[in-house]
């Protein structure tokens, strides 16, 4: 960019001060107001306006006007159009000492009408692209603006354009953030949780009643029953919904690693701790912390966790200083924690702290009435994402879905439907597309006697709707034998 003239020191000082001021304003409206006001003050202009390209429509529009009545803004834009056109054409700022005599404006009705004499107008550019302009004028004085004031206004406009771009980006990110937060909230509203069975209704009723409080919740249930889904529903329906939801899987991590993940560490406190690190409890401050597979944590971490629950305090690994955190704890386990307590593997005091409210997610085979609804839900979801024109699920297919015992619960059902949609050839999903075991396959050499026994027992149990007494009778075994086997298979 060429400047017509070098600027005087006091103008440079003013430019620096103004640049610092506008760079500290993040929001677009106050920023534009300040830009306009500072430009007017610096040039002692009588009137002024700022034009900006609308990022949605691409149209140039007056965003701020000073000392110009609303009615004349429309008129003003007429002259501004000729000025902007002139800037667009040759990329140069416009300076007029006497608009009445200037051939560029001669004949323009609005100039004559308003009796404008001096005009200075400079482009606002971002990376060579014109995004608008700053216009100032005077009706009372010829030669109000000099080449020097134009140089000042041009340099000022360059700074302003950068600040405007930053503010627009900031607003865009802010809007995006609000939209995403809303989307996540909606995704985890109860509507996202399918289930009309009385067991699911009872759970949703509890979720509703406990969301707004801070009590600890322990969610137990088999894999894939929706424990995390419920944990999120509690968070996103409660008073902490604007705060973070942080989840940590506690199984299969070394003790050192898990401890530093949860509580953070001080630089050098163990090999590999190269920097100070904030733990997830701090990250979850004012929100909810979901501790998944809590049954797997070591006695040492159990003790530290108890401290968070009792005192609301954490200590980073290698630090003596304590830090306060305000976190609601929801934990989940697919082990029976009471059983772990009995075996001496889990601290009883911690168990009671975590288990203020207890939610038990029933396995899918115990709420078969939810299968058609869930199937429909996943069918619509995956038809939509796959874009395949599948119309329906054959009624025989639904029978197969209803009789299967779903050891992987809702997650397995979801995967099965997704796979079936990918594999389906016609417009209907058939049982063959499901690829779930229909009956015990004795020809499968990979199966051990234990597998065959287990599958057979579970199938019969399934046909008896989970009624163990009935199943034992049909199998010709004692109820004790059945209980013993079921427990063994759970390990």
Ligand X SMILES: Nc1ncnc2c1ncn2[C@@H]1O[C@H](COP(=O)(O)OP(=O)(O)OP(=O)(O)O)[C@@H](O)[C@H]1O
Sites of contact with ligand X (CB under 6 A)? 193-195, 221, 223-229, 334, 410-411, 414
Tokens describing residue 312: 């609301």
Please choose, from the candidates 206, 181, 180, 212, the residue with its C-alpha nearest in 3D space to the C-alpha of residue 193: 206
Tokens describing residue 309: 């629950």
- Distances from the Cα of 61 to the Cαs of 123, 254, 310, 411, in angstroms? 14, 60, 59, 53
Site for Mg ion in 205-244 (CB under 5 A): 228
Q: How far is the CB of 197 from ligand X (least distance, A)?
A: 10
Q: How far is the CB of 438 from Mg ion (least distance, A)?
A: 28
Q: How far is the CB of 410 from Mg ion (least distance, A)?
A: 11
Q: How far is the CB of 459 from ligand X (least distance, A)?
A: 23
Q: How far is the CB of 216 from ligand X (least distance, A)?
A: 17
Q: Is 276 in the site for Mg ion (CB under 5 A)?
A: no
**Residue 148 interaction partner, one of Mg ion, ligand X, none, beta carbon < 5-8 Å per kind:** none
Instruction: Return the number of the residue (226 or 279) whose C-beta is nearest ligand X.
Output: 226
d(C-alpha 110, C-alpha 457), whole Å: 92
Instruction: Return the number of the residue (193 or 345) whose C-beta is nearest ligand X.
Output: 193
Instruction: Return the number of the residue (119 or 364) whose C-beta is nearest ligand X.
Output: 364
Angle at which helices 255-263 and 299-311 pack, to 10 degrees? 10
**Residue 240 interaction partner, one of ligand X, Mg ion, none, beta carbon < 5-8 Å per kind:** none
Q: How far is the CB of 133 from ligand X (least distance, A)?
A: 52
**Residue 225 interaction partner, one of Mg ion, ligand X, none, beta carbon < 5-8 Å per kind:** ligand X
Q: How far is the CB of 425 from Mg ion (least distance, A)?
A: 34
Q: How far is the CB of 273 from ligand X (least distance, A)?
A: 29
49 in Cβ contact with 25 (< 8 Å): no
Q: Classify residue 366 by burial, with Cβ atoms within 10 Å: 0-12, 13-18, 19+.
A: middle
Instruction: Return the number of the residue (195 or 287) whose C-beta is nearest ligand X.
Output: 195
Instruction: Return the number of the residue (224 or 295) whose C-beta is nearest ligand X.
Output: 224
Q: How far is the CB of 460 from ligand X (least distance, A)?
A: 26
Residue least distant from ligand X (Cβ)? 226
Within 8 A by CB and 6+ apart from 88, the residues are: 130
Instruction: Return the number of the residue (208 or 228) whose C-beta is nearest ligand X.
Output: 228
Residue in this structure with the two tokens 């137990």, named with its chain if needed: 220
Which residues here bind Mg ion, judged by CB under 5 A? 228
């Amino acid at each position: 960019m060429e400047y017509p003239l070098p600027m005087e020191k006091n103008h440079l000082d003013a430019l620096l001060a103004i640049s610092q001021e506008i760079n500290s304003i993040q929001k677009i409206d106050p920023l534009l107001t300040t830009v306009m006001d500072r430009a007017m003050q610096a040039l002692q202009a009588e009137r002024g306006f700022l034009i900006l390209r609308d990022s949605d429509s691409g149209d140039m529009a007056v965003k701020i006007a000073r000392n110009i009545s609303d009615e004349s803004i429309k008129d003003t834009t007429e002259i501004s159009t000729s000025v902007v056109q002139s800037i667009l054409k040759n990329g140069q700022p416009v300076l007029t000492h006497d608009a009445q005599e200037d051939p560029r404006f001669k004949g323009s009705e609005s100039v004559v009408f308003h009796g404008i004499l001096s005009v200075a107008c400079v482009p606002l550019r971002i990376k060579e692209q014109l995004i608008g302009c700053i216009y100032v004028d005077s009706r009372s004085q010829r030669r109000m603006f000099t080449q020097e004031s134009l140089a000042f206004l041009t340099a000022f406009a360059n700074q302003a354009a950068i600040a405007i771009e930053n503010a627009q980006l900031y607003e865009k990110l802010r809007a995006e953030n609000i939209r995403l937060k809303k989307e996540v909230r909606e995704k985890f509203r109860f509507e996202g949780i399918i289930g009309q069975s009385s067991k699911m209704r009872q759970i949703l009723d509890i979720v509703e009643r406990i969301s707004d409080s801070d009590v600890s919740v322990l969610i137990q249930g088999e894999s894939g029953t929706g424990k995390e889904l419920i944990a999120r529903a509690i968070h996103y329906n409660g008073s902490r919904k604007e705060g973070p939801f942080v989840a940590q899987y506690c199984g299969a991590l070394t003790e050192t690693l898990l401890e530093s993940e949860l509580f953070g560490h001080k630089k050098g406190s163990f090999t590999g701790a190269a920097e100070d690190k904030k733990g997830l409890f701090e990250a979850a401050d004012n929100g909810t912390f979901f501790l998944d597979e809590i049954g797997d944590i070591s006695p040492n971490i159990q003790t530290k966790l108890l401290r968070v629950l009792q005192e609301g305090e954490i200590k980073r690994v290698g630090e003596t200083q304590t830090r306060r955190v305000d976190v609601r704890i929801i934990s989940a386990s697919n082990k029976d924690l009471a059983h772990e307590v009995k075996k001496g593997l889990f601290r009883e005091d911690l168990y009671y702290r975590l288990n203020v409210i207890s939610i038990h997610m029933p396995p899918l085979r115990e709420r078969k009435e939810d299968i058609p609804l869930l199937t429909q839900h996943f069918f619509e979801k995956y038809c939509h994402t796959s874009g395949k024109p599948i119309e329906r699920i054959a009624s025989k297919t639904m029978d197969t879905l209803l009789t299967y015992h779903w050891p992987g619960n809702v997650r397995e059902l979801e995967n099965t439907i997704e796979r079936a949609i990918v594999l389906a050839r016609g417009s209907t999903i058939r049982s063959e597309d499901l690829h779930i075991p229909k009956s015990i396959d004795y020809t499968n050499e990979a199966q051990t006697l234990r597998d065959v026994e287990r599958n057979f027992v579970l199938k019969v149990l399934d046909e008896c709707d989970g009624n163990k007494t009935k199943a034992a009778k049909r199998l010709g075994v004692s109820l004790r034998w059945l209980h013993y086997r079921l427990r063994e298979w759970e390990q």
